[in-house]
Amino acid sequence: MTIQRVGIIGAGQMGNGIAHVFALAGYEVLMNDINADALTAAVQRIDKNMDRQVSRDAISADAKDEALRLINTTTTLTDLGQTDLIIEAATERETIKSAIFEDLVPHLKPDTILTSNTSSISITRLAARTDRPEKFMGFHFMNPVPVMQLVELIRGIATDEPTFKACEDVVAHLGKTSTASEDFPAFIVNRILMPMINEAIYTLYEGVGSVKSIDTSLKLGANHPMGPLELADFIGLDTCLAIMNVLHDGLADTKYRPCPLLTKYVEAGWLGRKTKRGFYDYTTEVPTPTR
């Protein structure tokens, strides 16, 4: 399977990061979003992030210019039908993702590979909503995409070997490292990471430690680059809650019960960095704990 043209659905933080790395690797990129302003903002963000790479001599100015030339945008989902590989990076809600694939399927080439950047939703279930479950798999990038080296590749129950190999080759061409995960709730990284974050929130909820003491303890005591509450704010508390719910619902084990404090923060709209308030308040020059 020769992959040259890549369609990306969603122009948010993950979508624009995925477009960034594919364009730098020489792929033609067509990025889709229902919001034209979001597409404009995504291209501006890619431009700014590539400028940062140029300033650090990570890429050349010519490489940046060529990569930006390879990125096109559209608000029409069906325009992606002629691409070789599609990566869906829309909101982490199964109903939305399923609706996107159902709308897209009638317009696809017979050999187009469909993938989802979902961090937790069943690949097998998403694939079953399409006409090509054998050509469907999980393609999970880490955030921020241009910086993080890992890509989780997740087979659904019907994914065939040529599809897996094609995606594995793409990851290698991007200069990243892939790991293979089976299709169980939250896959590998979030199966391990999210319960740790959830336990940190329980530790705060139960008064064992403050935001500052919990994060400092894990940074200095476990040599983590970010504390778990700081990391939760970076990921987005709504995303953390959604993944914990997937784990709790999918595995039916009480150890995955989302902390009530996490639910309360999400209900308040305190979602972390993207809303300027989560476990830290980001409206000040130096983020300050909110508890």
**CA 211/CA 278 separation, integer angstroms:** 11
Give yes or no: residues 44 and 163 share one domain.
yes
Q: Is 152 a catalytic residue?
A: yes
What per-residue confidence (pLDDT) applies to 1? 67
Q: Which of 16, 122, 190, 198 is catalytic?
A: 190
Residue 61: band (very low, low, confident or very high) from pLDDT cuts 50, 70, 90: very high
Residues 6+ apart with CB under 8 A from 133: 124, 127, 156, 157, 158, 159
Total structural domains in the chain? Answer: 2
Give yes or no: residues 136 and 170 share one domain.
yes
> Which of 182, 199, 230 finishes a domain?
182
Please indicate if the annotation marks 149 as binding a ligand.
Answer: no
Instruction: For 72-84, write each residue's pLDDT tens digit.
Output: 999 999 999 999 9
Give yes or no: residues 161 and 228 share one domain.
no
Full residue range of the structural domain in which residue 270 is found: 191-289
**CA 124/CA 155 separation, integer angstroms:** 8
Give yes or no: residues 161 and 222 share one domain.
no
Give yes or no: residues 129 and 200 share one domain.
no
> Which of 132, 149, 182 finishes a domain?
182
Is residue 131 within 8 A of residue 105, CB to CB? The reply is yes
What per-residue confidence (pLDDT) applies to 279? 98
> Residue 262 belongs to a domain with what CATH number?
1.10.1040.10
What per-residue confidence (pLDDT) applies to 119? 87
Question: Interhelix angle for 61-69 vs 36-55, to 10°?
Answer: 160
Instruction: For 187-227, write each residue's pLDDT tens digit.
Output: 999 999 999 999 999 999 999 999 999 999 999 999 999 99
Please indicate if the annotation marks 120 as binding a ligand.
Answer: no
> Which of 150, 182, 214 finishes a domain?
182
Please indicate if the annotation marks 64 as binding a ligand.
Answer: no
> Residue 54 belongs to a domain with what CATH number?
3.40.50.720
Please indicate if the annotation marks 47 as binding a ligand.
Answer: no
What per-residue confidence (pLDDT) applies to 93? 86
State what percent of residues in the chain have pLDDT above 90: 95
Q: Is 102 a catalytic residue?
A: no
- What is the pLDDT averaged over residues 10-21? 96
Give yes or no: residues 13 and 42 share one domain.
yes
Give yes or no: residues 150 and 224 share one domain.
no
- What is the pLDDT averaged over residues 245-273? 96
Give yes or no: residues 199 and 153 share one domain.
no
Q: Which of 20, 140, 178, 198 is catalytic?
A: 140
Give yes or no: residues 170 and 207 share one domain.
no
Give yes or no: residues 210 and 74 share one domain.
no
Give yes or no: residues 236 and 125 share one domain.
no
Q: Which of 116, 119, 120, 178 is catalytic?
A: 119
Check whether the bond before 289 is cis (ω within 30° of 0): no
Please indicate if the annotation marks 274 as binding a ligand.
Answer: yes
